[in-house]
Structure 1
Amino acid sequence: MEDNGFKSDYNCYCLAAKTFMEEPDRLLNIVRPILDADENSDKREEAKDFSNLMKSLEKIYGTQYPEIEKQIKYFRYFHVVREESQYLWETLFYYVRQCVKRINIILLGDVNYEVGVANLFYRELLEAMDRGKLNEADKEKINRRNEKFPLAMKVWDASKLLIFKTNGDVLKGVSGSVGISVGRVCVINSPEEFYKMKKGDILVCHFTDPEWTPLFKLASAVVADTGSALSHAAIVAREFNIPAVLGVGFATTKLKDGDTIEVDGNTGIVKGC
């Protein structure tokens, strides 16, 4: 916790994210899939696969191999650097949330800023802070925006049905990792639902970030509403050698737990069986 306490669930969402320090029980959600998988076996296979890959590249590229090996080392190194830089903004976001929470306490008398000052635009919040209190117009805006938020989410979900390609039980997305897999759907909307995932399930989600990586040890394929070939879900799926179709748009809305589907990572097509 001392080394990774600022790690967040929705790390790109400044006000919505929560760190391990804020929700320490979330660690159990991450540990459980790891315990359900053979961690030691996975590490041995990973090391073996990488070693075999490098040997194959050496045979293929001959005298060019040293330069290729150097570039691969660079890529692996900067992947770690990227994760470390992400941790920096997660740390910053934590302190931003503490500031916003304190502002909410001062202006509204409670800590629940997500239904409070988070409903004000930046300039509106600055003006309220300059006054030292919320005026009636501010309070009316907060109440109105809170009331309209559920409707906005419904409109957003409905709009995805119109934008993204579908043909009955066939969903179209972007190929993130090749291969074909048939399996049982497990829809995961948040880390709190990690416990639902069983070995061989097809992970269906909005998106993934590093906190979701343990689920890939159990998944036979991945389908995500968002993403592309360079998104987290695609990269990790390729590392685990499982099919992935991304940018489907509304997989979490159309597919249900227990559905049997085929994920074709070669063509970017997901269809019912």
Structure 2
Amino acid sequence: MAGTKMMLRRYGNEIIYWDEQEIIVDQAYLDKHKDLYIRLTHPYILGTRMLDVYLNGQHLLAQGGYEEVDENTIRLDLGIYPQEHPLAGQHIPLVMDDEIYIRTWKPEYRQGGGSGIDDLRFKRLEEEIVSARKYTERDVQFHQLDDRLDYIQERAEAKTMVFVLERVPLGPCKYEMRFPFEGKIKEIYASCGVYGTSKSEFSIEKCSQFDYETLPSWTNIFSRNLTIQAGEKSSNTSRLPYILSDPVIHKNDHFRINTLAAGEGLRGLTLEIVVII
């Protein structure tokens, strides 16, 4: 069959529970197959969930991604083009380089209470979930898959504003930064290249886009300001951690640092504002 190759696997004395078929869609395959019907190299029994069908790595479901036609044929259902598309209403076809993988489970392994194809599927699903709960193979897995997904989402949605000042003069900083998204401040952290021999104290001030373009009006976002203690390198070790009074950020809000106390000898200040959008 044009564009089709068989995947041969050798397991030694292990039992092979399924047959495999892989189709790499090329021009020869498209020339020969003008529809979404797939002719299987291994027959199956309709309605017995003997097939696992994948398109480009995505697991397709029966009656949701493909339909069973007869014991040698299935038909893919890739959806239809949306109304705004020039081909609106028409079925989406296969295209060059699409990869179709079909696993046909052998019927003899569907038999037996507690030891058939369903057990194998559950085992494979369990292994997949355990793997998905890890960040890398070396990491301890997350307790739940939801925890792992929350971690990924948080990393994807986190943005950081960074102010860097070599010298740290008193008063409002001349550098002002716009944040182009709506969000909520999650964390603020300050560190220095050379620590001061006395305490440093900073406020962070916010101004809306409208006020910025008319008469700037800056408001402190802290109810207790950020401090770096004498002889310390970061705000992490402060005995009086900051308290936010206004963590909400509106689109295009502007920010600046206001130095209320600069520790003697303090140099190389870096201040980070982590925002979840």
The answer, yes or no, to whether TM exceeds 0.5 is: no
Report the TM-score range of the alignment, normalised by the length of the smaller protein: under 0.3
Query: Is the radius of gyration larger for structure 1 or structure 2?
Result: 2
Q: What is the TM-score with the length of structure 2 in the denominator? A: 0.18
Q: Which of the pair is proportionally richer in helix? A: 1
